[in-house]
């Protein structure tokens, strides 16, 4: 059993803390957001993540999981401190380290003995050294000197499958120079590392860069497929056939080759930008990484182009009402950070259209993001969005949208048209109901 303290009770911190408690460690989660901590102490989970709620409840009940805003108390007897606070993009795209360095100050001001500080936030190369420097400065100001080892321990969990990823990680990366620290973390992670050795120990800088390399590679696959989809659309080919054709090559594989309405979320967009910024800082022109981002920005607007093409220019969609299925940036999450829905809703409203939106989990978040502006209605179900709608746009591939009642769509949508931003349907199935169907890269939209 380890006594663990986690700074940041968001997607990464809350899930990591809960999973560590689940395997027997004693975990205190600290956050500066008092509402979040009060809510957690009253049993309210601030995010939607499959399987998380009962796990939090059970571990709180069993006394292994605590939530507090009192950082001094939380670090007082912890052996391992995790940093899991946000690293949002700065104005120039680089990662803003203000939250991470604030935690370093708090750690330096409050620890009472030897600790390992493991950084899970996604941070540029060199951040562990900065964190180490801040902690030492603060300790010196107190006239204290404790052995502190700052390691990089990047997080690879996926929102929507975060609990599963945390309980069964495909790798645990630890960047440290110290064999003793690596051994301690090996012990801490042992419950997640039983089936085969998933720990990869490396130097700190490589660990920090590995996280960016992983996200940039995944984003590259998506942008590549989106670019291919645009070519397919123009030449009259079907990207879904091409996807099957290339995915069957094991060197390419099936994962992350789905074309769509662009990637979003809290990680890919900001991490791709931050990696480009790191490259530039070190005199490497990030040509490929920059293209990945610009292709994605263009792709987020592509669905609106299809709408505009259908409606003969689309400059003025005044009077048109669009049913919109899906607001979160991907299924199984309520996260709307950099979601394609934000771009599309803005474009539709700018063109004078009304939107009737539904998402299985992101409705509260959507109200927070959009407010309740005129021309945007939030509906209680996917069927309710169809009332008075002229066309349907599908934007997030939630399972419940995968097999709709096309007869109902044909009866409900006055313009009898479906725009599918995730290629969920067989064109023939939709068209056989007398609906026009636009998807991504399926050779039928020009
Ligand atoms: P989040 O925004 O959901 O949560 C961050 C939390 O940190 C917030 O609750 C905030 O109040 C809290 N916080 C800020 N300053 C604090 C401080 N000084 N002390 C205590 N708490 C503080 O963020 P997230 O999505 O969990 O991401 C955290 C980090 O992990 C980021 O660097 C992100 O890039 C990385 N990451 C995220 C994911 C993901 O899927 N969300 C996956 C892997 C890595």
- 63-114 pLDDT tens trace: 999 999 999 999 989 999 999 999 998 888 899 999 999 999 999 999 999 9
Residue 130 has pLDDT above 60, yes or no: yes
Same fold, 3-202 and 236-446: yes
Residue 13 in contact with ligand 1 by CB distance below 6 A: yes
| Ranges assigned E (strand) in 86-211 | 115-119, 148-152, 172-175, 199-202
pLDDT band at 444 (very low <50, low <70, confident <90, very high): low
Domain boundaries along the sequence of the chain: 3-202, 236-446
Sheet holding 376-378, edge to edge: 376-378, 354-358, 321-325, 391-394, 417-420, 436-438
> Helix 287-300 to helix 204-235 angle, to the nearest 10 degrees?
50
Mean pLDDT of the chain: 96
Given CATH 3.30.70.1450, say whether it is the number of domain 236-446: no
Burial label for 163, CB within 10 Å (0-12, 13-18, 19+), is: buried
Tokens describing residue 266: 């809290």
Residue 402 DSSP SS3: coil
Reading phi first (left if > 0) and then psi (alpha if -120 to 50, else beta), residue 204 is in alpha
| CA–CA distances in Å: residue 104 to residues 32, 33, 76, 185 | 14, 17, 15, 20
385 is in an annotated binding site: no
Which pairing describes strands 199-202 and 321-325: parallel, antiparallel, or unpaired?
Answer: unpaired
Residue 24 has pLDDT above 70, yes or no: yes
Residue 241: per-residue pLDDT = 96
Residue 12 in contact with ligand 1 by CB distance below 6 A: yes
Averaged pLDDT, 108-129: 97
Residue 443: per-residue pLDDT = 80
| Ranges assigned E (strand) in 131-269 | 148-152, 172-175, 199-202
Contact call for residues 80 and 42 (beta carbons, < 8 A):
no
301 is in an annotated binding site: no
What is the H or E stretch that residue 26 is in?
strand 26-30
Query: For residue range 380-438, what is the model confidence (pLDDT) as tens digits?
Result: 999 999 999 999 999 999 999 999 999 999 999 999 999 999 999 999 999 999 999 99
Residue 60 has pLDDT above 50, yes or no: yes
pTM over 0.90, yes/no = yes
Residue 122 sits at φ, ψ, to 5 deg, of: -80, 115
Averaged pLDDT, 176-185: 97
Tell the residue nearest (CA) to atom 27 of ligand 1.
86
What is the H or E stretch that residue 164 is in?
helix 162-167
Averaged pLDDT, 136-148: 95
Neighbours of 410 (CB within 10 A): 15
Residue 53 has pLDDT above 90, yes or no: yes
Long-range contacts of 236-244 (CB under 8 A, 24+ apart): 236/443, 236/444, 237/441, 237/443, 238/441, 238/442, 238/443, 239/423, 239/440, 239/441, 239/442, 239/443, 240/423, 240/441, 240/442, 242/441
Residue 445: per-residue pLDDT = 45
Which pairing describes strands 321-325 and 391-394: parallel, antiparallel, or unpaired?
Answer: parallel
Query: For residue range 231-283, what is the model confidence (pLDDT) as tens digits?
Result: 999 999 999 999 999 999 999 999 999 999 999 998 999 999 999 999 999 99
Residue 131: per-residue pLDDT = 98
Residue 11 in contact with ligand 1 by CB distance below 6 A: yes
Alpha carbon of residue 290 to chain centroid: 20
pLDDT band at 446 (very low <50, low <70, confident <90, very high): very low
β-sheet bridge partners, residue 6:
29, 82
- The answer to whether the complex's ipTM is over 0.95 is yes
Averaged pLDDT, 340-355: 96
| Distance in Å, CA 190 to ligand 1 centroid | 24
Query: For residue range 362-384, what is the model confidence (pLDDT) as tens digits?
Result: 999 999 999 988 899 999 999 99
Query: Among 204, 213, 338, which residue's Cα sits nearest to residue 279?
Result: 213
pLDDT band at 314 (very low <50, low <70, confident <90, very high): low
Given CATH 3.30.70.270, say whether it is the number of domain 3-202: no
Residue 238 DSSP SS3: coil
Catalytic site residue 446? Answer: no
Residues 77, 70: Cα–Cα separation, whole Å: 13
| Distance in Å, CA 13 to ligand 1 centroid | 7
159 is in an annotated binding site: yes
Catalytic residue among 19, 29, 166, 267: 267
């Amino acid at each position: 059993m380890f006594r663990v303290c986690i700074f940041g009770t968001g997607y990464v911190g809350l899930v990591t803390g809960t999973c560590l408690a689940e395997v027997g460690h004693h975990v205190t989660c600290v956050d500066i957001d008092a509402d979040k901590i009060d809510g957690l102490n009253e049993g309210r989970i601030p995010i939607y993540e499959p399987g998380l709620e009962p796990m939090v409840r059970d571990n709180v009940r069993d006394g292994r999981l605590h939530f507090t805003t009192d950082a001094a108390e939380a670090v007082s007897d912890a052996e391992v401190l995790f940093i899991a606070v946000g690293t949002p993009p700065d104005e120039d795209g680089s990662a803003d380290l203000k939250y991470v360095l604030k935690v370093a100050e708090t750690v330096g001001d409050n620890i009472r003995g030897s600790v390992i500080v493991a950084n899970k936030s996604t941070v540029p190369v060199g951040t562990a050294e900065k964190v180490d420097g801040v902690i030492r400065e603060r300790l010196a100001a107190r006239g204290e000197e404790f052995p502190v080892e700052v390691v990089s321990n990047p997080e690879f969990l996926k929102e929507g499958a975060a609990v599963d990823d945390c309980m069964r990680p495909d790798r645990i990366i630890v960047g440290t120079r110290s064999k003793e620290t690596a051994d301690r973390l090996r012990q801490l992670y042992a419950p997640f590392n039983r089936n085969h050795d998933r720990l990869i120990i490396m130097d700190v800088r490589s660990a920090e860069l590995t996280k960016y390399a992983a996200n940039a590679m995944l984003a590259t696959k998506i942008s590549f497929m989106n670019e291919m989809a645009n070519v397919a659309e123009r030449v009259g080919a079907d990207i879904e056939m091409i996807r099957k054709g290339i995915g069957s090559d094991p060197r390419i594989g099936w994962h992350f080759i789905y074309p769509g309405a662009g990637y979003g979320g809290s990680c890919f967009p900001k991490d791709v930008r931050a990696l480009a910024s790191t490259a530039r800082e070190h005199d490497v022109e990030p040509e490929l990484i920059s293209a990945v981002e610009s292709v994605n920005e263009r792709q987020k607007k592509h669905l609106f182009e299809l709408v505009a093409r259908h409606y003969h220019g689309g400059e003025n969609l005044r009077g048109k009402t669009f049913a919109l299925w899906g607001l979160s940036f991907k299924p199984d999450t309520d996260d709307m950070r950099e979601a394609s829905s934000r771009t599309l809703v803005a474009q539709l409203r700018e063109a004078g259209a009304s939107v009737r939106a539904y998402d299985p989990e992101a409705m509260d978040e959507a109200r927070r993001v959009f407010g309740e502006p005129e021309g945007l209605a939030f509906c209680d179900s996917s069927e309710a969005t169809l009332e008075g709608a002229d066309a349907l746009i599908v934007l997030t591939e939630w399972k419940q949208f995968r097999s709709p009642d096309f007869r109902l769509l044909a009866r409900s949508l006055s313009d009898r048209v479906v725009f599918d931003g995730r290629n969920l349907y067989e064109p023939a199935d939709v068209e056989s109901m007398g609906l026009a169907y636009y998807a991504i890269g399926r050779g039928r939209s020009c």
